[in-house]
Amino acid sequence: MLLLSDHSIANRPQASSPSDRAQHGRSLFIEPSSSSVAGGKAYLVVAPLFPEAESYRGDYQLKVRPYFFKSEKGVLNLAAPGDSMRKLQGGSATDFTGKVISANGKTRVVTGRITPSTRDRGTVTFSVITENGKMVFNTSYHFGP
């Protein structure tokens, strides 16, 4: 299962074993996406997620228009244990749950599904419950150097 958590991206330790490095040796790129909100639109931008032991870690930015005061930045961490990575690399969709932590300390629960179309690419859906309702972001991802 993939899990989002609240670790910062300042330290990026390498995977601990050769098989971990083979699975987690490449960065994860998530394409920008948007979601409708009452009277506006929310835009999600995720910086490249860098591999760590059994996770991918990086920053995110949520811009809400016209409600700029609801925009935020923060950190997300996709925990990717070996069994989940093998399932994903084998072509099977994987559900995930977790959280993101904004720069001002606000915690958000996130759920989603990542579905490969090839070994290196596929689609991902993030659902975030906020005080103003549910936002759903559908986008694509790819692994790269």
- Greater confidence, 5 or 75? 75
Q: Which of 20, 17, 22 is nearest to 81 (CA)?
A: 20
- Tell me: the pLDDT tens digits for 78-133? 777 778 778 888 889 988 777 788 999 998 887 788 999 998 999 999 888 888 78
pLDDT score at 11: 37
Lowest mean pLDDT among 39-43, 56-60, 87-91: 87-91
On whether the CB atoms of residues 68 and 43 are closer than 8 A, the answer is no
Lowest mean pLDDT among 12-21, 39-48, 101-110: 12-21
pLDDT score at 129: 84
Q: Which CATH number fits domain 2-144: 3.30.450, 2.40.160, 1.10.287, 1.10.1200?
A: 2.40.160
Taking residue 79's Cβ as centre, other Cβ atoms within 10 Å add up to 19
Q: What does the DSSP 8-state code read for residue 119?
A: S
Q: Which of 88, 131, 93 is nearest to 112 (CA)?
A: 93
Lowest mean pLDDT among 7-21, 35-49, 81-95, 114-128: 7-21
Q: Which of 117, 80, 65 is nearest to 1 (CA)?
A: 80
> Concatenated DSSP letters for 83-96?
HHHHHHHTT--EEE
Helix (H, G, I), strand (E, B) or coil at 68: helix
